[in-house]
């Protein structure tokens, strides 16, 4: 931010990279006039034209201009030059709500506050004919006062997007948060679909894990369609009843936002603390009846979206599109490699076992997503031992860390680069080191483009 080359159109000083998405990157920036902190999304014009997404960008602009609410990220202005489009938006200093949930379940009063603000924001959107369609903790930000801000309207729809049957037909959203009727691809009501997603968010805030979790995507869809809700023992009875209405698999019977507002729990004050139900865990039927669950509390713990052992920085860097790998020391990067995969853990484990057989590595240990692989013969510095550990970010998105636990580093690097990496290519979504290089190159290109634009404007 010290260099003049980082001043965008003589109005904003561009700073650090905050994150990136399909069509562009988001930077922290500061107004050169008012000194106000903002976030600027930089979108490549050529890319959206090549992929036919110009209409989506225009829709996002239209949506953000009508959706002006205290709990929605505000769009201040849109600027453009020959190569790029710039969205100047409100900066949410508190980061993603996902980061809080990644550390475990929230206190009831905190979850209540966020849920109430979420419902207020979504209700406002619906009143303006806007359906978000991708409500999840990753798309919910927090400001420096801890207030919720709904963001990312890239998949949103306007009321005029409906077909003659009055329904939306484009399947979109994140699988774990999407409503059953969206999965069925037979048309859906955007209002009802958003209410379902809000129900999933409320459950995740209070439980720390997803309600319909399964490592297999097809099995997860089956659970979503059945919607057999199991509330853990710390859920208040009235919350279980509310969730049963929000997560009704039949959209015609699903509760409306106006009726959500009538619930006692929704209207409690800031120091809300409810009485806990007497049963250990609860299965809630679609009628709202609480039925004692026969499983013990251990099953709920096993369904955690984010295992305790996962590093929060890894979750942020992958799930939110951030790249924090540059903060790791060089010597650490030489000893370990990370990649992300969109396949179930069972397939990743099976692939690692196949590679071990091909390379004649002995599997010494296999427990809780950790595989310890060893060479049969001693190397220059003893027996080479490699740990491959799988961390679940979501049921369909995993982080895998491969690192040397014993032996010679050069021997490890050789087997990693010449044998393991090529053998993994069909299950890898992206290697973190490749993501870092791409990010650095893109940042350099952005600075070069800005410098060229300034020189042209001055000449």
Q: Please give, one letter per residue, the 3-state secondary structure of the chain.
A: CCCHHHEECCCEEEEEEEEECCCEEEEEEEECCCCCEEEEEEEEHHHHHHCCCHHHHHHHHHHHHHCCCCCECCEEEEEECCCEEEEEEECCCCEEHHHHHCCCCCCHHHHHHHHHHHHHHHHHHHHCCEECCCCCHHHEEECCCCCEEECCCCCCEEHHHCCCCCCECCCCCCHHHCCHHHHHCCCECHHHHHHHHHHHHHHHHHHCECCCCCCCHHHHHHHHHHCCEEECCCCCHHHHHHHHHHCCCCCCCCCCHHHHCCCCCCCCCCCCCCCCCCCCCEEECCCCCEEECCCCHHHHHHCECCCCCCCHHHHHHHHCCCCCHHHCCHHHHHHEEEEEECCCHHHHHHHHHHHHHHCCEEEEEEECCEEEEEEEEEECCEEEEEEEEEEEEECCEEEEEEEEEECCHHHHHHHHHHHHHHHHCCCCCEEHHHHHHHHHHHHHHHHHHHHHHHHHHHC
* Cα 108 from Cα 206, distance rounded (Å): 7
134 is catalytic: yes
Asked if 243 and 236 touch (Cβ cutoff 8 Å), the reply is: no
DSSP lists the bridge partners of residue 390 as 400
Closest CA to 253 of 210, 283, 288, 278: 288
- Alpha carbon distances (Å) from 59 to 62, 65, 132: 5, 10, 12
DSSP lists the bridge partners of residue 284 as 229, 290
* Cα 132 from Cα 124, distance rounded (Å): 11
Give the number of other Cβ atoms within 10 Å of residue 302's Cβ.
Answer: 10
Q: Which of 44, 123, 134, 189 is flagged as catalytic?
A: 134
41 among annotated binding-site residues:
yes
Q: Could you list the residues known to form a binding site for ATP, using ranges.
A: 41
Residues designated as active site: 134
């Amino acid at each position: 931010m010290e260099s003049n080359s980082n001043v965008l159109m003589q109005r904003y000083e561009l700073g650090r990279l905050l994150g990136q998405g399909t069509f562009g990157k988001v930077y922290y920036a500061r107004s050169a006039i008012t000194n106000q902190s903002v976030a600027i999304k930089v979108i490549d014009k050529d890319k959206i034209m090549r992929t036919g997404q110009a209409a989506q960008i225009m829709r996002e602009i239209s949506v953000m201009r009508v959706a002006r609410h205290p709990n929605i990220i505000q769009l201040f202005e849109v600027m453009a030059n020959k190569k790029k489009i710039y969205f100047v938006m409100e900066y949410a200093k508190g980061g993603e709500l996902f980061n809080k949930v990644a550390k475990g379940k929230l206190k009831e009063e905190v979850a209540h506050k966020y849920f109430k603000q979420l419902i207020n924001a979504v209700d406002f959107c619906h009143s303006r004919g806007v359906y978000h369609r991708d409500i999840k903790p990753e798309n919910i930000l927090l400001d420096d006062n801890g207030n919720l801000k709904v963001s990312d309207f890239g998949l949103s729809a306007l009321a005029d997007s409906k077909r003659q049957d009055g329904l939306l037909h484009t399947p979109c959203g994140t699988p774990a948060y999407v409503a059953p009727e969206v999965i069925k691809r037979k048309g859906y009501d955007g209002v009802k679909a958003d209410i379902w997603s809000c129900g999933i968010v409320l459950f995740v805030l209070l439980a720390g894990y997803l309600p319909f979790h399964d490592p297999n995507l097809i099995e997860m869809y089956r659970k979503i369609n059945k919607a057999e809700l199991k509330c853990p023992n710390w859920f208040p009875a009235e919350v279980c009843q509310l969730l049963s209405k929000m997560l009704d698999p039949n959209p015609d019977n699903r509760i409306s936002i106006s009726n959500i507002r009538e619930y006692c729990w929704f209207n409690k004050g800031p120091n809300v603390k409810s009485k806990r139900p007497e049963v250990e865990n609860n299965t809630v039927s679609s009628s709202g009846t609480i039925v004692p669950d026969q499983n013990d509390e251990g099953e709920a713990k096993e369904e955690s979206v984010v295992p305790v052992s996962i590093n929060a920085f890894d979750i942020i860097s992958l799930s939110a599109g951030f790249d924090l790998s540059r903060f790791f020391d060089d010597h650490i990067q030489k000893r370990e490699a990370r990649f992300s995969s969109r396949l179930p853990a069972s397939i990743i484990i099976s692939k690692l076992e196949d590679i071990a057989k091909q390379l004649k590595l002995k599997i010494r240990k296999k427990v809780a997503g950790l595989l310890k692989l060893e060479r049969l013969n001693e190397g220059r510095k003893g027996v080479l031992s490699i740990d491959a550990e799988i961390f679940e970010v979501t049921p369909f998105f995993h982080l895998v860390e491969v690192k040397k636990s014993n032996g010679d580093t050069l021997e490890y690097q050789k087997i990693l680069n010449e044998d393991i990496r090529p053998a993994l290519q069909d299950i890898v979504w992206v290697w973190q080191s490749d993501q870092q290089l791409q990010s650095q190159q893109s940042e350099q290109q952005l600075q070069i483009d800005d410098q060229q634009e300034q020189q042209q404007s001055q000449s």
